[in-house]
Every structure is written in structure tokens, then in C-alpha cells.
Amino acid sequence: MASIRILVGSVYGGALLTARALKKNLGQEGHQIIVLENPELEDVTGNDDPILVCTSTTGQGEVPPNLLPFYVRLRDELPQQPGRPFGVIVLGDSSYGDTFCGAGELMEEAFYETSAQKVGDTLRIDALETTDPEIEAEPWVRQWLDQL
């Protein structure tokens, strides 16, 4: 059973609800899941649990305000964590065109610069296609867990 940390970035609550649903459903099966609603850099550097980013996109392809301080410190301090597994679930809206799901790319780039290792392909959840992001996320996370 895996122990994972979910870093949440959310403006209107969709990504947060998704993270909480994952914790509830996968937690019942014995996985230990910590949902970090206002993550600090130390929530990641103080352990070696796999990291799952679950963020929406705001502004023009930007990271939501609650995740922004973490992102800025991660990018500025680049704490090296070679091989640390991470995955990305990003919510967006394809009507935003070029900035579709941009927050996921920003987080991915920052983690890559810490030498962390991405597991699986990014899951992009399009608000134009679904109003239930947690339903798309759960099977994806099951596969992601299998790849850890």
C-alpha cells in the first residue's frame, strides 16, 4: 500500500474536491493519502513519499493562489530530490486555448528541476468535457499507483 501526498491548487474547489475524493476512496483500501490544502515546501522536503499534484489553472495559465507560495519556493530553492516520484493531475478549460492546463506544466517543470522523476502522463481534465473531475481522476490514480 502506498503513502502519497497530494499537493492541491484550487480556486473554486474542484481540484480540492477531487483530492478529497481520492483520499476517501483510496484510503478505504489502505493507501495512506495526505491532502495538503495549503502546502509548504517542508511538506515535501521532510519525507520521501511520492507526490501527486492536483491543481487547477487560473489567470492565464497560472498556479492557484493557495499553491503559489509552494511553487515559488520550489522553483527558487530547487531542493534536490533525485528520483522522487511525482505525478500531475491538472484541471483546466480548453476554451482558454494556449494556456489550457498551464498550471500543470509549471509544476511539472519545477519538479523536474529538482531531479524528481515523473510517473505516468499528466492527466488533463477539461471543464468543457466534464463537471465531475473526481470521476476521471480515480481510475487514472489507480494506474498511477500501480506504476510507483
Ligand X SMILES: Cc1cc2nc3c(=O)[nH]c(=O)nc-3n(C[C@H](O)[C@H](O)[C@H](O)COP(=O)(O)O)c2cc1C
| Residue of 86, 96, 111, 144 interacting with ligand X (CB under 6 A) | 96
Give the DSSP H or E segment for 8: strand 3-9
Q: Given phi > 0 = left and psi -120 to 50 = alpha, else beta, which region is 49?
A: beta
Name the residue nearer to ligand X (CB basis): 14 or 87: 14
| Residue of 27, 59, 69, 79 interacting with ligand X (CB under 6 A) | 59
92 is an interface residue for ligand X by CB under 6 A = yes
To which residue does cell 511525482 refer? 86
| Residue of 25, 45, 81, 99 interacting with ligand X (CB under 6 A) | 99
Q: Are 41 and 76 in contact, with CB atoms under 8 Å apart?
A: no
Query: Which three cell numbers mark 40?
Result: 509548504
Q: By CB under 6 A, name the binding residues for ligand X.
A: 10-15, 56-61, 91-93, 96, 99-102, 127
